[in-house]
Amino acid sequence: MKYIVALQNKADALRANVLGTLTRKEGQNTVEYVLMLVVVVGVAVLVGGLIKSFMPEFWENIKGKILGGANSL
């Protein structure tokens, strides 16, 4: 009988420890930072994709202006 009571006390202590771990608020800052990082990286990837499709035309315009300026000398 003592063994069963001791086992039940250990189970209760483990249950309290697990519930305490689940309700702790320490990890929320880390989760929030990770979510912010995911959003920032997502925006950077989207903007990078948009810029990548725009860049060839942009560089051609710059090259044309440089060559046009050089030819006018």
DSSP result, 2-51: HHHHHHHHHHHHHHHHHHHHHH--TTHHHHHHHHHHHHHHHHHHHHHHHH
- Angle at Cα 25 formed by Cα 24 and Cα 27, nearest 5°? 100
pLDDT band at residue 54 using 50, 70 and 90 as cut-offs = confident
Mean pLDDT of 7-36: 74
CA distance 39 to 19: 31
pLDDT band at residue 3 using 50, 70 and 90 as cut-offs = low
pTM over 0.75: no
Q: What is the pLDDT of residue 73?
A: 67
Nearest to 9 by CA among 17, 69, 48, 61: 17
Domain boundaries, the chain: 2-72
